[in-house]
């Protein structure tokens, strides 16, 4: 059967214990409501104060210095009841409903919102609505002033961004090809995604399931079949995990001990997802044709198809409950056959690229 690397060559379109009563007899000492009371008791207390104080309620929060539960109220006459229930009263100007009304007005003025406005929220301890503006940008300040409601403008260093993870076996998209993520690693300065070299030879900017990851850093193919993508976007996290798709939750990489001949392994990729089998041979030389000869590959009977290239090969997951732990083995290189009739698949051992580029697999 014809052996071939498994990169998809396609044009890419883009890519409680609860508090049960707060009415405390005057002769009794109220238990202190503080951080040590636990989430369930504090949640019950908040609900109680929200109901008993009615329109005067201005929210509640924990004092970060003492740990005490502080309850805001616009009616000073309610302070004694708050103390009797074990909390600390604070008389403020705006009730919670008014603060939420101000926030909702801002929510309705997002047309023409400057990019420098990072967001807005209710600051309960200061009894204010805060608008966060990157670098104190004048346009962001002007937007806040034009809203016509009382707000405090705070300067923040940078804008928020969505966070997403690069996980082994998920898609890795190049300009002209689709492959799979192998493993995440790092050195003293940077984080990298390791995949197949016949994928990174395409070069350029590389995307993942959540957006741009970075650019190709190094590539070795033929001879070897590995390459790295340097992570350049701060919204990308690189956990030591591999996607099992419909076969269960992600597995976690805990090392790179090699599974020998006859050992059980599994692989993950975007085309055929999670497939398992056994190691059949080590240190094999494979001829992919057109002068593309790769040495040092491991042969397996775990099937794969185009698009699975670069994807994770790992030891069979541990049994039992909890997070499944695996040993990283290598990155899918190529093979013959398919996942309908079965086939042979080769992987590039990961230890070679780790040693070559002085990289360490990511850890929790």
Mean pLDDT taken over the chain: 88
Query: Do 56 and 186 belong to one domain?
Result: no
Distance in angstroms (rounded) separating the CA atoms of residues 274 and 265: 11
Are 81 and 209 found together in one domain?
A: no
Q: Which two tokens stand for residue 33?
A: 């409501």
In a domain, 34, yes or no: no
Percent pLDDT > 70 in the chain is: 90
Asked if residue 19 belongs to a domain, the reply is no
Residue 171 lies in a domain: yes
Q: Is residue 20 included in any domain, yes or no? A: no
Q: Is residue 182 part of a domain?
A: yes
Give pLDDT tens digits for 176-225. Answer: 889 999 999 999 999 999 999 999 999 999 999 999 999 999 999 999 99
> Do 48 and 22 form a contact (C-beta atoms < 8 A)?
yes
**Position 252 in a domain:** yes
87 plus 103 within the same structural domain: no
Helix (H) or strand (E) holding 129: strand 128-134
Q: Do 6 and 303 form a contact (C-beta atoms < 8 A)? A: no
Query: What is d(CA 190, CA 206) in angstroms, rounded to the nearest whole number?
Result: 16
> Beta partners for 226?
220
**Residues 285, 137 within the same domain:** no
The reported pLDDT for the residue numbered 322 is 73
Q: Which residues contact 138 (CB under 8 A, 6 or more apart)?
A: none
pLDDT, tens digit, for every residue of 243-259?
999 988 999 999 999 99
Do residues 229 and 360 share a domain? yes
**121 and 44, same structural domain?**
no
Q: Are 313 and 198 in a shared domain?
A: yes
CATH of the domain at 228: 2.40.10.10
Q: How many angstroms separate the CA atoms of 52 and 144, rounded?
A: 34
For residue range 98-155, what is the model confidence (pLDDT) as tens digits? 999 999 999 998 888 998 888 888 999 999 999 999 998 999 999 999 999 999 999 9
- The CATH number of whichever domain residue 118 belongs to comes to 3.30.300.50
Q: Supply the pLDDT for residue 190.
A: 96
Catalytic residues: 198, 225, 309
**In a shared domain, residues 131 and 84:** no
H/E stretch holding 91 reads: strand 88-91
Is the domain of 271 the same as that of 138?
A: no
Spatial neighbors of 29 by CB under 8 A, at least 6 apart, are: none
Residue 131 in any domain: the answer is: yes
CA distance 332 to 339: 14
In tens, the pLDDT along 314-327 reads: 999 977 667 799 99
DSSP 231-259: E--TTEE--SEE--GGGSSPEEEEE-PPP
Nearest to 60 by CA among 82, 93, 29: 82
Is the same domain home to 119 and 192? no
Domain of 148, in residue numbers:
97-156
Query: How far apart are alpha carbons 34 and 160 in whole angstroms?
Result: 31
Q: Of 108, 135, 156, which residue is a domain's last?
A: 156
| pLDDT (tens digit per residue) in 43-66 | 899 999 999 999 999 999 999 899
- What does the pLDDT read at residue 27? 37
The total number of structural domains that make up the chain: 3
Is 239 domain-assigned? Answer: yes
């Amino acid at each position: 059967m014809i052996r071939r690397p498994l990169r998809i060559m396609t044009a890419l379109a883009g890519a409680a214990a609860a508090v049960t009563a707060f009415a405390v007899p005057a002769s009794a000492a109220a238990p202190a409501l503080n951080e040590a009371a636990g989430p369930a008791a504090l949640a019950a207390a908040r609900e109680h104060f929200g109901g008993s104080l009615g329109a005067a309620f201005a929210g509640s929060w924990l004092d970060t210095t003492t740990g005490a539960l502080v309850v805001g109220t616009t009616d000073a006459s309610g302070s004694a009841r708050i103390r009797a229930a074990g909390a600390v009263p604070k008389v403020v100007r705006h009730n919670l409903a008014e603060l939420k009304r101000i926030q909702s007005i801002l929510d309705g003025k997002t047309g023409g919102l400057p990019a420098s406005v990072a967001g807005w929220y209710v600051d309960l301890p200061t009894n204010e609505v805060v608008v966060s503006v990157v670098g104190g940008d004048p346009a962001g300040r002007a937007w806040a002033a034009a809203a016509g409601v009382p707000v405090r403008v705070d300067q923040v260093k940078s804008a928020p961004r969505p966070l997403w993870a690069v996980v082994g076996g998920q898609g890795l998209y190049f300009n002209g090809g689709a492959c799979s993520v192998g493993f995440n690693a790092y050195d003293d300065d940077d984080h990298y995604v390791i995949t197949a070299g016949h994928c990174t030879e395409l070069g350029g900017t590389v995307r993942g399931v959540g957006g741009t990851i970075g650019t190709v850093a190094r590539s070795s193919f033929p001879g070897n079949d590995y390459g790295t993508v340097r992570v350049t976007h701060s919204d990308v996290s690189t956990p030591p995990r591999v996607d099992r798709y419909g076969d269960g939750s992600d597995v976690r990489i805990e090392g790179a001990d090699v599974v020998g001949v006859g050992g059980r392994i599994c692989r993950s990729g975007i085309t055929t997802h999670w497939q398992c089998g056994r190691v059949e041979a080590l240190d094999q030389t494979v001829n992919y044709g057109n002068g593309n000869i790769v040495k040092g590959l491991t042969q397996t009977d775990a099937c794969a198809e185009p698009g699975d290239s670069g994807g994770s090969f790992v030891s069979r997951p541990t049994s039992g409950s909890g997070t499944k732990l695996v040993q990283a083995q290598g990155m899918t290189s190529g093979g013959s056959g398919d996942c309908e009739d079965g086939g042979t698949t080769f992987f590039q051992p990961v230890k070679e690229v780790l040693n070559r580029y002085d990289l360490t697999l990511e850890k929790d």
